[in-house]
Structure 1
Amino acid sequence: MLAIRLVRGSSEPAALVLPVRPGGPDAPAELAPTAVAPDDDVRAEATAVLAASRLTGTAGELREHLRPGGRPARLWLLGVGDGGERDWRTAGGALARAGRDETQITIALSGEATAALRGLAEGLLLGAYRFRLTEAGERPALAEAQILTADPDALAGTLATARTTAEMTMLARDLTNMPASTKNPRWLADQVAQAASGRADLHLRVREPQELAAEGFGGLLAVGGGSAQGPRLVELDWRPAGARTHVVLVGKGITFDTGGISIKPVPAMKLMRKDMGGAAAVLAATLGAAELRLPVRVTTLAPLAENAVSGSAFRPGDIIRHYGGLTSESTNTDAEGRLVLADALAYAVRELKPDLLVDLATLTGANAVALGKRHAALYSENDTLADDLLDAISAAGERAWRLPLADDYLEYLGSDIADLHSSPARGAGSVVAALFLREFTGDLRDRWAHLDMSAPSWSDDTNGELVKGATGWGVRGLLRWLATLG
């Protein structure tokens, strides 16, 4: 992993990065003031290059200027936009990729130091990410980024937080990117066990099929019943001393989704290894909360199953009895995620009794139809909880938009033969899925939020801190939000 060091100065760096910000109206871009100023001759040359380069200062914009025989030998002009955290994160991602042929780069920091450093460090680490099974060919030469700052000691904690946040996001990306030929419920549960091993402050329980049957997790057993790889329920608990708030996070963990008997067409199935992105996010966030020693209790529930086609797969029209007793009728076995989440939500309400309950799920394609590829849909009846989550998600550089839990659509959940219809054919797909989940939140209905994050869990291209493939969406936002509780 790329090493990042805070330094007060650097002796004749080989590659120096200077931040560039937009000028005023009708004015060219300009060098941004930095805490550690470059030598006068370097600054003068950079200013001359900037005047001729037509840079705008947009975050992530880059120009390289060679200085044969000089030190630094290469000068990079890096657009940082308004100098806020989001723009520095974008700039860091672009710089990590552009600087792959360098061994070391030195970056002068500008703007509000804490926000700029956090954005830059996360952007550098996440922009340099490569999935471990696709690292064919030469590895990037870039091994270290030195960040020039007036007071390295004062920013050490910020850098540590940024590093942990990026590491947990990359863990979620790794888990989500892993092909289903390797990744099944047992494998994923084992990965969590390895990540949590050796930590007495993390408590892990993994329920296997026999325990799930004995305790009545009917949704999870139905969805996982068609696979040779039985389902699991992972329960991971971070319980710091003195915690006054208990949060339960629930993440959908379908390790591969064929659609079951209501089988998907091939184009819709080929990326279904990502259908456990919600589980990856909440598990990584809980591990991150423990690493950062956040003073809030966090319990994560990850219902894991493979939705496969076989003689033992559940069928359209089956009635499923969920944890706690509610029944649902499913006429579409491709609406499976809500079935496993229903079990986990009901268990959380009945047995864990948390203060707040949040679930993340790659739940519906309707999310992307409504909001596009970058935004998750957020549902909650609690304005404070919704606002706090939206603020944290935005601050972390992720995106979400609140949609209504419209009671007008409750009639769609009516069933003639069960308590609920889990997959009605009528519209408002993301809203109706959220309404179905709400039925399992009991007394926590007014302290629950649902994030439908199917669209932003995967990036089709490389941009800013995002790399093509799994994004690890939700880890950064959850860690920001958890850090505000206590």
Structure 2
Amino acid sequence: MLAIRLLVEPERPDTLVLPVRPGPADDAPARPAPTDVALPDGVAEEAVALVPATRSTGRPGEVHAQLRPGREPGRLLLLGVGEGDEAAWRTAGAALARAARDETRVTLVMPTGVAPAAVRGLVEGLLLASYRFRLTDAGAAPALAGVDVVVADPDAHAGAVETARTTARMTRLARDLTNTPSSVKNPEWFAGQVAANVAAVDVPDLHLRVRGPEELAEEGFGGILAVGGGSACAPRLVELDWRPAGARTHVVLVGKGITFDTGGISIKPVPAMKLMRKDMAGAAAVVAATLGAAALRLPVRITTLAPLAENMLSGSAFRPGDVVRHYGGTTSETTNSDAEGRLVLADAFAYAVAELKPDLLVDLATLTGANAVALGKRTGALYSENDGLAADVLAAVAAAGEAAWRMPLPADYVEHLGSDLADLHSSPDRGAGSVMAALFLREFTGDLRDRWLHVDMSAPSWAEGDDAELTKGATGWGVRSLLRWLGTLG
């Protein structure tokens, strides 16, 4: 990651970045933001002249460059920061990371009276937009190694920088896990990555248990075993527990962890299968958020469950029409082996309700393509019967710079979950795919039904190209939102 330093004055920068804000009225020109920092001779006056000459608007993320041969600094960047709120600074930080990718280090002078939240947004934008994933050394890596941020009182912003750094590091971890090809990534590998990162965080009160196929069979996790039964790579169940002393609230997070999804016997067409390495993005998000909560010492107990399986096609794969017996004994008929995510989540839910008895149950899952049909590529579908919980999570999602929209759980759709063979039908062909999947999951929430929240985040888990703080590929969606929300529960 980029090295971020807080300084009280510039250290003879080669490239100096000055924020630009819109004018105070619609017809007023943009202007450089005022600063308490002494700038190199002539720079302030030059910036005032350059803003109108470059037609700068101060819009967040707008960048104009000016070369200054033979002078210090040798390059001046005018960076639009809008009204200077956290979201605007996040966009500005992302734009700066790309505009300065060929520099070694740049110095950004912050405006007078800048809030810690703005610094947090800036650092998150810088660190997330500079993310790069490759398995080879091919292609030139960005040269930018660090950004010096000049503020009047570095101590006042140190906490914001550390929070942003941890949030970005964990979001990048979720992106790494999701981007990794399934030729490398299987349930055993994923569980090993969790163990390695638990060791790297190295804090007390963080505990990991990984169940293998024998334990899953002994304890009755029939959904996980059914979905993973067609693969040579056996399933796993990761249980990660953050237990800080004095925590008053216990949250269970569950994330869908299908390390590759062929659709099984109900095989997917090739276009739908080619990105199915991302079908464990929910598991990556909840694991990374839990590690982040531990690193930040958030005072809330979190138990994270990541049911991991590879949904493959073979003679041992589960079939359409099979009846699956889930943890705790509830059975479900499945006529579509490509509706596998809800089967592994149902096991995790039933276990959480029966054995963990948390205060709140929240799951993230790349569950349905219907999510994208309804809400497009940037927005998750959020379901909950608890108005307060839904409002709190939506507020955290918005503050984090992500997006979700609350969807209904219609009572008259529940009858479609009936089955002649089992307690439930897991994949009734009734349309409203995302809604029906959520309703099926709700059947496993027990007495937590009014304290459960589900996000179908298949669409926003992947970006087709660079966009603000997002980079092409896995987005790490949900890590930032979960950390914001968990931070309110202490």
Fold in common (TM above 0.5): yes
- Picking from 371, 375, 379, the partner of 1:371 is 375
* Partners of 2:203 and 2:294 within 8 A in 1: no
Runs of 4+ in 1 over 4 A off after TM superposition: none
* Rounded Cα–Cα distance in structure 1 between residues aligned with 2:266 and 2:82: 48
1:417-436 matched pairs, under 5 angstroms:
417-436=421-440
Aligned twin of 1:458: 462
Q: Which amino acid aligns with 1:221?
A: L
Aligned twin of 1:92: 93
Q: Does 1:256 align with 2:260?
A: yes
Point out the more displaced range, 189-198 or 277-286: 189-198
Point out the more displaced range, 200-209 or 190-199: 190-199
* Partners of 2:116 and 2:156 within 8 A in 1: no
Deviations along 1:408-444, one digit per CA (max 9) or x if unpaired, are 2112211111111111111111111111000000000
Q: Does 1:318 align with 2:322?
A: yes
* Partners of 1:109 and 1:116 within 8 A in 2: no
* Rounded Cα–Cα distance in structure 1 between residues aligned with 2:238 and 2:477: 20
* Rounded Cα–Cα distance in structure 1 between residues aligned with 2:435 and 2:137: 40
Point out the more displaced range, 403-412 or 365-374: 403-412
Deviations along 1:61-113, one digit per CA (max 9) or x if unpaired, are 11110111111110001111221111111111111111111111001223642
Point out the more displaced range, 76-85 or 293-302: 76-85
Aligned twin of 2:476: 472
The secondary structure found in structure 2 opposite 1:5 is strand
1:317-466 matched pairs, under 5 angstroms:
317-466=321-470
1:169-318 matched pairs, under 5 angstroms:
169-197=171-199, 198-318=202-322
Q: Which amino acid aligns with 1:185?
A: P
* Partners of 2:171 and 2:288 within 8 A in 1: yes
Aligned twin of 2:76: 75
Aligned twin of 1:150: 152
* Partners of 2:327 and 2:350 within 8 A in 1: yes
* Rounded Cα–Cα distance in structure 1 between residues aligned with 2:233 and 2:376: 33
* Rounded Cα–Cα distance in structure 2 between residues aligned with 1:308 and 1:137: 33
Alignment TM-score, normalising by the size of structure 1: 0.98
Point out the more displaced range, 222-231 or 107-116: 107-116
Deviation at 1:344, TM superposition (A): 0.2
* Rounded Cα–Cα distance in structure 2 between residues aligned with 1:199 and 1:12: 39
| RMSD of Structure 2 on Structure 1 (CA) | 1.2
* Rounded Cα–Cα distance in structure 2 between residues aligned with 1:84 and 1:42: 25
The secondary structure found in structure 2 opposite 1:282 is helix
* Partners of 1:18 and 1:107 within 8 A in 2: yes
Point out the more displaced range, 175-184 or 424-433: 424-433
Q: Which amino acid aligns with 1:460?
A: E
* Partners of 1:222 and 1:314 within 8 A in 2: yes
Deviation at 1:390, TM superposition (A): 0.5
Aligned twin of 1:123: 125
Deviation at 1:137, TM superposition (A): 2.9
Deviation at 1:29, TM superposition (A): 2.0
The secondary structure found in structure 2 opposite 1:163 is helix
Aligned twin of 1:60: 61
* Rounded Cα–Cα distance in structure 1 between residues aligned with 2:143 and 2:390: 43
The secondary structure found in structure 2 opposite 1:44 is helix
* Rounded Cα–Cα distance in structure 2 between residues aligned with 1:267 and 1:22: 44
* Rounded Cα–Cα distance in structure 1 between residues aligned with 2:215 and 2:226: 14
Q: Does 1:51 align with 2:42?
A: no
What 5-or-longer segments of structure 1 have no aligned partner? Answer: none
* Rounded Cα–Cα distance in structure 1 between residues aligned with 2:334 and 2:46: 68
Q: Which amino acid aligns with 1:64?
A: A
The secondary structure found in structure 1 opposite 2:279 is helix
> Number of matched residues?
486
* Partners of 2:9 and 2:38 within 8 A in 1: no
Q: Does 1:21 align with 2:21?
A: yes
Alignment TM-score, normalising by the size of structure 2: 0.97
The secondary structure found in structure 2 opposite 1:401 is strand
Aligned twin of 1:138: 140
The secondary structure found in structure 2 opposite 1:404 is coil
